[in-house]
Structure 1
Amino acid sequence: MTRSLRQCLRDYLAERRIRRNRLVTKDGHCNIEYGNIKYSSHFTYLLDFWTTFVEIRWRYVTFLFVASFTLSWFIFGLIWYWIARSNGDLKWQNPQSGHISCVDNVEGLTTAFLYSLETQTTIGYGGRAITPHCPGAVALIIIQSLIGAIINCFWCGVVMTKIALPKKRAKTISFSEMAVICPKKDTLCLQIRVANLRKTLMIGSQIYGKLLKTTVTAEGETVIMDQINIDFMVDAGKDNLFFICPLTLYHVIDKSSPFYEIAVDTMHQLAFELVVFLDGTAESTSSSCQVRTSYIPQEIMWGYNFLPIISRSKEGKYRVDFSNFSKVVPVPTAHCASCFHNDKGHHLHDRRGTANPGFEVINIDDPPNGTRM
């Protein structure tokens, strides 16, 4: 029992360390921190205030929403109080009989605040109303009405923009938890799976990858987060994907690939991160969005292939079974890319893979060592 608790604790700490060290999390957030920024640079956020308001968290938007309206009501309430005091309308000023007020029934700070709120929100209970005998009050009610309309329009725009952000559409794009390396059409390929959970298409979808690692140049310079392009493709090509059902994307590991020198027994000892990007335009909103995820060496399974998930019913309809989305099965695979190209019989596993004849899902029992993600 104690050993199992220690093992769970070690696994938790190791997972936490891996999560902290990765640049891009599995859900696409960038784990990067900016430091030593000049104080004057913070004013650039005020200059681009619209983007700042759209990108801040909802709790700050809610606070600023309430604060802006409450503050404007209070400021204009003070101005109405000042106008009433200047005209001698307040109750403690003991106005004479027949005195004409600028605003009826504004007799103190509280009633001035209530009149400001009723004016800006166009409530108008009827107990307090402006009279035409004070030009300053007439001008003030026009100014407050205009400013109130501007505040309403601004916050309506912010809320609608935040609700319609393309990042929300990206939440319905799912990547497989693991990547696999296995043969495909006489080539060794790194494969990942991506699915669109909505029936609406992503128009003009393009997918590509970046391999991030620390390299040392010939001059002895250490380059942190050196970016190497990784091309992904499907059987129909790599541009303008027909993203109507889950796709299995693959990268060919040949002599030009940065994975060519990696072997099954050395991969987990390396330090790199494969970041995968999918760009597209939502069909329903015509807004472009980008989905990101990343894979570290511990999330790449050598010698495995994804289970088929597309089947065809007797009525001729296509069906996607997402229960097999991240399931894998062992397949015969060479120990390294050079072994694959030089000796096709040098395999890590000696078990047959899984076919999918007629687009039918085949139920396969999980292997003893567990391949279910």
Structure 2
Amino acid sequence: MAKKIKDPGIGKHSNKYARRFINADGSFNIKHINKVNSLSESYNYLINITWGKFFLWVLLGYTLVNSLFALVYTFLGISNIAQPTGDIFKDFLNAFFFSAQTVTTVGYGAMAPKGLLFGVISSFEALIGLLSFSFITGLLYGRFSKPRANIKFSSSIVLKKHKEVDAIMFRLMSKSDNVMIRPNIEATLALSLKDKHNEFTNNFYKLKLERDAITYLPTTWTIVHGIDESSPLKEFSREELKQLHGEILLLVSYYDESFAQEVHQVHSYILKNIKYDQRFVPAFYYDDDGYTILDHDKLDQTTK
């Protein structure tokens, strides 16, 4: 008989429209409102976004700062940094290029500020440039040095006979060449069910796995939960499983040699996405020289 466990931090309240707790990318499916923003949150945002978005923000900030100072230089008089051309757009471009040389402290020498006012403004801009590039350098270091788990989960979750009982299975592997040291996994089943008051509540169960820890993982690891007498899914038929509003919540931890510390990653699977009577295609094989060949593209592949 399966025993319920305490709320792992998700919350007991639910309803029939509730979405999954954990998104496919490992983030929690939560929308924040009435939240006070701070500079530290901007730092966290810039640390965690993709590299493409990060460099777009850097380019946008660089363009905005130079455009702002270029407008100031143009408005106060372009003759104080370069020979006027009579074309407002060309004068603005000259002011923009002068601003870019100032903010980066390059200073090619073709243009230079004249007068006290322009000297003060360009000096202030140079200070802003030094501070900005120091901040960006810190962000680059933070993005490279931040410990991140490097786990790839199979998109598929299957149910098939295993040791004479139905079993739920999924796979995981390392995205990189690094071997995962002492990986261990915790699996929690969250079922949103109607109670006696006809309201939806979350019920949590710890899933017993065939193996929840191994010594090292150089290839793939198939996680198996047998639906035996101790499983919370034992009371449901295959047809009933397809109708359940349930999610398997996962927490995987392992020691990463690159960061010399333990890292963690969360993931989840929806019960409605189970593939029935399928098995995973082997993802690694041996070549003629005896080397183990690991095909990352086969992690998700299943067959009847």
198-207 vs 221-230, greater mean Cα deviation: 221-230
Partner of 1:66: 59
**CA drift at 1:230:** 2.0
- 3-state SS of paired residue (1:192): strand
Q: Identify the match of residue 244 of structure 1 among 218, 227, 234.
A: 218
Rounded to whole Å, the distance in 1 between the matches of 2:64 and 2:29 is: 36
**In structure 2, the residue corresponding to 1:232 is in which secondary structure?**
coil
Give the match for residue 15 of structure 2: none
Q: Is the CA contact (8 Å cut-off) linking 1:180 and 1:192 kept in structure 2?
A: no
Return the match for 1:294 from 246, 249, 269.
Answer: 269
Aligned partner of 1:11 in structure 2 is none
137, 141, 162: which is aligned to 1:183? Answer: 162
Structure 1 residue aligned with 2:183: 205
Which SS does the other structure have where 2:101 is aligned?
helix
Alpha-carbon distance, 1:258 to partner: 0.7
Q: Quick one: structure 1 residues 54 and 306, their matched pair in 2 at CA, closer, same or farther if it must change by over 3 Å?
A: closer
Aligned counterpart, 2:44: 51
CA contact (8 A) 2:209 2:224 kept: yes
TM-score by length of 2: 0.68
> Contact 1:182 / 1:305 at 8 angstroms: preserved in 2?
no
Structure 2 vs 1, CA of residues 300 and 262 (structure 1 numbering), >3 Å: closer, same or farther?
farther
Of Structure 1 and Structure 2, the greater strand share is in 2
Aligned pair count? 280
Residues 141-160 of structure 1 mapped to structure 2, 5 A cutoff: 141-158=122-139
TM-score after normalising by structure 1: 0.58
2:241 alignment partner, one of 262, 267, 273: 267
Give the corresponding residue for 1:28.
25
TM-fit CA distance, 1:294: 0.8
C-alpha contact 1:233 1:249 (8 A) present in aligned 2: yes
Amino acid at match of 2:127: L
Matched to 2:274, the amino acid is: E
- CA offsets, 1:199-226, max 9 Å, x none? 21123422222212213456x4744443
Which of 1 and 2 has greater Rg?
1
- In 1, Cα distance between equivalents of 2:293 and 2:102: 58
Structure 1 counterpart SS, 2:111: coil
Structure 1: unaligned runs, 5 residues or longer: 1-19, 92-102, 329-370
Query: Which residue of 103, 112, 130 maps to 1:129?
Result: 112
Identity %: 19
| Match runs of 1:278-357 below 5 Å | 278-286=252-260, 288-301=263-276, 306=280, 311=285, 316-320=290-294
Instruction: Kindly indicate whether residue 213 of structure 2 is the aligned counterpart of residue 230 of structure 1.
Output: no
Once the two structures are superposed, the pairs formed by residues 102-117 of structure 1 within 5 Å of their partners are 105=82, 110=92, 112-117=95-100
**CA offset at residue 198 of structure 1?**
3.1
Whole-Å separation in 2 of the counterparts to 1:191 and 1:23:
20
Q: What residue identity is the alignment partner of 1:296?
A: L
| 1:116/1:21 CA distance change after superposition, 3 Å | closer
Matches of 2:140 and 2:220 in 1, distance apart?
A: 32
Contact 2:149 2:265 in 1 (8 A): no
From 79, 101, 122, give the equivalent of 1:118: 101
**Aligned counterpart, 1:169:** 150
Residue pairs, 1:65-104, within 5 angstroms: 65-77=58-70
Does the 8 A contact of 1:176 with 1:194 survive in 2? no
The one-letter amino acid paired with 2:25 is G
Verify the 8 A CA contact 2:244 2:271 in the aligned structure 1. Answer: no
Q: Distance in 2 between matches of 1:81 and 1:325?
A: 59
| Cα deviation, residue 182, structure 1 | 2.4
Q: Indicate the SS of the match to 2:150.
A: helix
C-alpha deviation, 1:299, in angstroms:
1.0
Deviations 1:263-304 (A, max 9, x none): 3454334332223343335433457351524142451425x6
Q: Which moved more, 1:140-149 or 1:276-285?
A: 276-285
Q: What is the rounded CA distance, in whole Å, between the counterparts of 1:217 and 1:123 in structure 2? A: 69
Contact 1:169 1:289 in 2 (8 A): no
Distance 1:300 1:241, change over 3 A: farther
Q: Highest relative contact order (Cα 8 Å, sep 6+), 1 or 2?
A: 2
Deviation sequence 1:69-116 (CA, Å, 0-9, x none): 23322444455568x76xxxx76xxxxxxxxxxx56466964555433
Check conservation: 1:202, 1:281, Cα contact below 8 A: yes
Q: Equivalent residue for 1:365?
A: none
Letter in 1 for 2:153: S
